[in-house]
Amino acid sequence: MATELCYVRNIGICAHIDAGKTTVTERILFYTGRNYKMGEVHEGTATMDFLEEEQERGITIQAAATTCPWDYEGNTYQINLIDTPGHVDFTIEVERSLRVLDGAVAVFDGKEGVEAQSETVWRQADRYDVPRLCFINKMDKIGADFEFSFNSIRDRLVANPIAVQLPIGASETFEGIIDLVEMKAYYFDAGELGAIVEQREIPDEMKEMSELWRHELIEQAAELDDALMEQYLEDESAITPKQIKAALRIGTRQRRCFPTFCGSALKNIGVQRLLNGVIDYLPNPTEAPEVQGVDPKHDNKPITRPNSIDAPFSALVFKVVSDIHGDLTYIRVYSGQLKKGTRVINPNNDRKENVSRIFEMHAKDRQPMDIASAGQIVAVIGLKHSGTGDTLCDTNHQIILEKMDFPEPVISMSIEPLTNEDKKKLTDALVTIRREDPSFRTSYNDETGETIIAGMGELHLEIVKNKLLRDMKIGVRVGTPRVSYRETIVGSATKVRGKFVKQTGGRGQYGDVVINVEPMTAAQADAEDLKMSDGVVFVDKIAQGVIPREYIPSVEKGVRNAALSGILGGYPVQSVKVELIYGSHHEVDSSQIAFEQAGALAFREACTQAGLALLEPIMRVSIVVPDEYFGPVSGDLSSRRGQIFDSELRGNVRVISAEVPLSEMFGYTTVLRGITQGRATSSMEPSEYRLMPDRLRDEVLAKI
């Protein structure tokens, strides 16, 4: 039988790029005995970065899963671990990993503290209610400052970090950690790669500071537990480490606090104590809330499944990897058990699937299994009709679990095959990549005959291009990257008719609809309890059957298809509310196709009357630059239509936060290096879509 659920932890490592996530993961694999030697990112030998592209670039591109054992207080725990990318172009990998995890370790740079992408992954974890530990890494780095990094978690993330450790020294003097719960100092033997941990008394020069931080720790722990608060008021000195851990565990599970650790993964300091913290504070699968879903057989009535192997089987597909032996599908089992050779159902499309094989994954290596149980993260082979976000469940006890949100692409470019043979291969290859990566999109432009690929950034599309050329051996020529704009309406239009009438020799076509359109944001739709899909809200206000009920879905389909294909320049229309208010039908000639066409005609005409505008993606840019270059950098941002909304001086380094249109940011990294003599770094992430100035809109449309 599988490991008891109380001895399982499903965790992810997530953070800003270059905070040291993969190095932390490599140390965890070494200390748990999963690896006999340590891999290093900078040497291209990291176990979890096994793609050729990852090893060359020294970055994580796709989330990798592994399972490792950890012995703690006489018990062996099973840690299912996912190492996620830090680069914003691969944010989908973080999104889908957090969706299936019970807890996470957020890693921060000891010098930089909370950075731009740290905020993004923190918000993603908030969205999925994931409890977290904080690990302030790189305490050996020049300029590392524990207190600054700790305060940045509280101030910039508006979180409640609770320090359970303090560093002994910093930068080149960093040599160990103080455990504030046990009030002991721990040193890690460098000669044994940190595998031997020595417990000592706290150094005299740090005793006073440790007492202050411990008092703060107990005070915050007492606020999480009423019984502990009573004891704290009576006699603080009588509170035991066990009571502190119990209170912090409750607070962490409820996301009211985030225990904060410190160390240096590269120097092998603090990782074992972090693993103990994972066991102490993060929930096991039985402590996570029961998984929510709907019953597809009973009008999508909300239902839940307990985190138990005795409940009917349910699992969520969170990742698909194309493989020469068939798709490798990663799933998180939420309830029940899955045996190899079992037949299950995908209720999202009502297709039955055969699970021929089950594997426990260790990065690219796989270990065959006969059975997977609730709480486990495994990969299966045999699924033909299931993609990311789909549910798998028992055929007799169906449930559809909540799907995932996938970000919209912000950048696109044309791609064309070099030969006819390449053309045949390219279509299949793009379908494969789309199945693996839901944030990647493809489309075909009938007018120009171009295939367009779209993604989350220049790096994202470059990785796709390299995959086609190098891995799939397909000859392609790619155009220059271009921005994925959106269209919207700036006013309203009422009682706009769309009529589709076609008379042929036999039966004709007749569809007639009248609609209103008005601008509507996603926030406004939520406030009015309206469902927005792909940026469009469709409201049926037909009374007295002037349009038969069976034709109304066709009208909506026509409206949505017209919105996707765009009106001004072929870009999707969004932030629009459409009300179907009137129409007429013909007893013989009306059909679903006719009403679909009528809906599309009405939508195009109504939007034209309301007035159309272009929306452009705005990027949130974070730049770390020596203070003497602040003037040239801010001037350059202004010339790119950028707006600086925050500027913070940290020592002699300036951290600039700005919002800049994506169209102005191509090749920015090279320019930034030039004006700062290579001493500045930058990162950016999508923020929102905003109206473009008329002059620039006309320039964009003129190029189409």
* pLDDT tens per residue, range 429-463: 998 888 888 889 898 766 566 788 988 888 888 88
Q: How deeply is 101 buried, as exposed, middle or buried, from its count of CB atoms within 10 A (0-12, 13-18, 19+)? A: buried
Using CB atoms within 10 Å of the CB of residue 226, give its burial: 0 to 12 exposed, 13 to 18 middle, 19+ buried. exposed
**What is the per-residue pLDDT for 54?**
56
For residue 655, what are its two tokens?
Answer: 């951290």
Q: Which CATH architecture best describes the domain 616-703?
A: 2-Layer Sandwich (3.30)
Find out whether 268 and 274 touch, Cβ atoms under 8 Å: no
CB-based contact 71:56 (threshold 8 Å): no
Q: 87 and 116 in contact (C-beta within 8 Å)?
A: no
pLDDT for the residue numbered 50: 46
Give the pLDDT of residue 53.
61
On the 0-12 / 13-18 / 19+ scale of CB atoms within 10 A, 564 is middle
Q: How far apart are CA 692 and CA 695, in angstroms?
A: 8
Q: Which of 35-49, 104-118, 509-523 is predicted least confidently?
A: 35-49
Residues 6+ apart with CB under 8 A from 275: 28, 31, 32, 70, 72, 79
Average pLDDT, the chain: 88
Beta bridge pairs of residue 624: 655, 681
pLDDT (tens digit, 9 = 90+) per residue, 619-672? 999 898 889 999 999 999 999 999 999 998 877 888 899 999 999 988 888 888
Rg (C-alpha) for the chain, rounded Å, is: 28
Residue recorded with tokens 């169906």: 398
Position 382 pLDDT exceeds 80: yes
Residue 330, both tokens: 């990663």
- pLDDT mean over 567-583: 93
Burial of 128 (0-12, 13-18, 19+ CB in 10 A): middle
pLDDT tens profile 202-231: 999 999 999 999 999 999 999 999 989 999
Kindly report, as residue ranges, where domains of CATH 3.30.70.870 are found in the chain: 411-484
Domain 411-484, classified CATH 3.65.10.10, yes or no:
no
* b/e code 549-560 from CB counts within 10 Å (16+ = b): eebbebbbbbbb
Phi–psi pair at 138, nearest 5 degrees:
60, 40
Q: Kindly indicate the confidence band of residue 89, based on its pLDDT and cuts at 50, 70 and 90.
A: low
Indicate the pairing of strand 314-321 with strand 391-393: antiparallel
Q: Average of pLDDT values for 583-589?
A: 89
Q: May I ask the CATH architecture of the domain 7-215+260-281?
A: 3-Layer(aba) Sandwich (3.40)
* Residue percentage of the chain with pLDDT more than 90: 52
Give dist(CA 654, CA 626) in Å, integer: 6
In DSSP terms, which residues pair with 617 in a beta bridge? 689
Residue 465 structure tokens? 């291009």
Which residue would you say has higher pLDDT here, 83 or 63?
83
3-state SS assignment for residue 75? strand
Residues in a beta bridge with 681:
624
Domain with CATH 3.30.70.240 in the chain: 616-703
Three-state SS string over 247-262 comes to HHHHHHHCCCCEEEEE
pLDDT in tens, 475-493: 988 888 888 899 999 999 9
Residue 42 scores a pLDDT above 60: no
Number of H helices, E strands in the chain: 17, 39
Q: How far apart are CA 439 and CA 658, in angstroms?
A: 25
Amino acid at 143: G
What's residue 2's pLDDT?
A: 46
Residue 627 falls in which region: left (phi positive, over 0), alpha (psi -120 to 50) or beta = alpha
**How far apart, in Å, are the Cα atoms of 494 and each of 323, 514, 607?**
53, 9, 10
Of the candidates 151, 97, 152, which has an alpha carbon nearest to the alpha carbon of residue 124?
A: 97
Q: Which of 161, 157, 175 is nearest to 133 (CA)?
A: 161
Selected residue with higher pLDDT from 49 and 5: 5
Q: Provide CATH code, domain 291-401.
A: 2.40.30.10
Check if CATH label 3.30.230.10 holds for domain 487-610.
yes
pLDDT for the residue numbered 294: 93
Q: Which helix (H) or strand (E) segment is 319 a member of? A: strand 314-321
pLDDT at 37: 55
Query: Is the Cβ–Cβ distance between 124 and 98 less than 8 Å?
Result: yes
- Specify the pairing of strand 536-540 against strand 576-584: parallel
pLDDT digits (tens, 9 = 90+) for 171-213: 999 999 999 999 999 999 876 777 888 999 999 999 999 999 9
d(CA 647, CA 645): 7
Question: Helix or strand or coil: residue 456?
Answer: coil
User: Phi, psi at residue 580, to the nearest 5°?
Assistant: -90, 110
DSSP letter string, 385-431: S--TT-EEE-TTS--EE-----PPP-EEEEEEESSHHHHHHHHHHHH
DSSP helix/strand/coil, 148: helix
Q: Nearest CA to 21 among 130, 78, 97?
A: 97
Give the pairing type, strands 612-626 and 532-533. unpaired
Tokens (6 digits) for 334 = 């939420």
With tokens 């940026």, the residue in question is 535
**Integer Cα distance of 272 and 694 in angstroms:** 58
Please provide the size of the chain in residues. Answer: 704
Residues of the chain with CATH 2.40.30.10: 291-401
Residue type, 47: T
Q: What share of the chain in percent tops pLDDT 70?
A: 93
Contact 148, 160 (CB under 8 A): no
